Amino acid sequence: MDIKKFLHNKMAVIGGIITIIMVLSAIFAPMLTSYGPLDMVISDRLKAPSAAHIFGTDTFGRDLFSRVLYGARVSIGVGFSVSILTMILGMTVGLYASYYKWLDNLLMRVCEGLKAIPATLLAIALMAMLGASTKNVIISLVIVSIPDIARISRSSALLTKEQTYIEAMYALGAKPNRIIWKNIMPNVISPVIVQTTYIFASAIIVEAALSFLGVGVPAPEPSWGNILSEGKTVIYNSWWMIVFPGIYMALTVLGLNMFGDGVRDLMDPTSH
């Protein structure tokens, strides 16, 4: 893990910085704004950006800057939870599938079946089934993302298994769980981490899409998606409702993608 080399990669570093700024602004939201995201002041509705409200206000007079920041908490929080859960569960599936042949057939068929349904569509269908709530969004997105990580873990694990040192461990009588987690997993984790950063980014996008369509995070809790959805109805007169949350979201995703590329270049320099 060559940190120095990573720092040479300008895009990756910029990406990392942007991501950190976004995450921090979400975490420290209460300190960055005195307005609450749910505080309605109807007389102030749909005001353009000003000194009092740097991002303007929305249809209910809520301060947009505050809503964007608190929305960041939700969107980034969802993205983060989805990535971690997917990484753990997906890797487990992939690792065990690579180890036990019968499990392999079963799990991989299921994954292929899931993958056949486009992610956004599957997420929408799952949300329709489960009902709109932040928790359900996380569940849906995890279900949608697991097949990808499982597949990567599995192929990485299969390659590692071919190595003779695994055969040696087997011959020494090591228990399967030990072989899987202590020996195979460390080799698998690099490509998995790379893919997880991309899943983080795509989870943010899909959550926003779901909330935009009304089947994601339910109002009045802010998420970039439902802020944009509100913005759509007043788009002709209130550009700030689209532009600011849009920029915020795009920057976060951009940061994550750039960072992800950097991590990928670090772990596998031949891919560039």
Partner 1 sequence: MKKYIIKRILYIIPVFFVISVVVFLLIHLTPGDPARIILGDRATEAKVLELRETMGLNKPIVVQYVDWICGFFKGDWGQSVFMKGTMQEILLEHIKPTVSLSIYALLLALIFSIPLGTIAAKHRGSMADHAISVFSMFGISIPSFLMGLLLVLLMAVKLNILPSSGYKPIESGLLLHIKYLTLPAISLGLMEAGLITRMTRSALLEVLNADYIKMAKAKGVHPFVLTFKHAFRNALLPIITVIGYSFIDLLSGAVVVESIFNIPGVGQLIINSIVRRDYQVIQAIVLVIAIMNVVINLLVDLIYGIADPRVRLDK
CB 74 within 8 Å of CB 223: yes
In the bound complex, what is the minimum distance in angstroms from residue 231's beta carbon to partner 1?
7
186 is a site residue for partner 1 (CB under 8 A):
no
Of residues 179, 169, 199, the one with CA closest to residue 263: 199
Number of residues that bind partner 1 (CB under 8 A): 47
152 is a site residue for partner 1 (CB under 8 A):
no
Of residues 117, 141, 144, the one with CA closest to residue 216: 141
125 is a site residue for partner 1 (CB under 8 A):
yes
46 is a site residue for partner 1 (CB under 8 A):
no
CB 86 within 8 Å of CB 142: yes
107 is a site residue for partner 1 (CB under 8 A):
no
Q: Which residues contact 4 (CB under 8 A, 6 or more apart)?
A: none
**What single DSSP character describes residue 272?**
-
Burial class (CB within 10 angstroms; exposed 0-12, middle 13-18, buried 19+) of 226 = buried
Of residues 40, 85, 82, the one with CA closest to residue 58: 40
242 is a site residue for partner 1 (CB under 8 A):
yes
109 is a site residue for partner 1 (CB under 8 A):
yes
Tell me whether residue 141 or residue 215 sits nearer to partner 1 (CB atom): 215
CB 123 within 8 Å of CB 211: no
14 is a site residue for partner 1 (CB under 8 A):
no
In the bound complex, what is the minimum distance in angstroms from residue 36's beta carbon to partner 1?
26
| Residues 188-227 within binding reach of partner 1 (CB under 8 A) | 201, 205, 208-209, 212-215
**What single DSSP character describes residue 257?**
H
Residue range at the interface with partner 1 (CB under 8 A); choices 21-29, 43-51, 66-74, 120-128: 120-128
Pick the binder of partner 1 from 152, 157, 253, 266 (CB under 8 A): 253
122 is a site residue for partner 1 (CB under 8 A):
yes
254 is a site residue for partner 1 (CB under 8 A):
yes
Of residues 166, 154, 52, 68, the one with CA closest to residue 111: 154
Site residues (vs partner 1, CB under 8 A):
11, 109-110, 112-114, 116-122, 124-131, 201, 205, 208-209, 212-215, 228, 231-232, 235-236, 239, 242-243, 246, 249-250, 253-254, 257-258, 261, 271-272
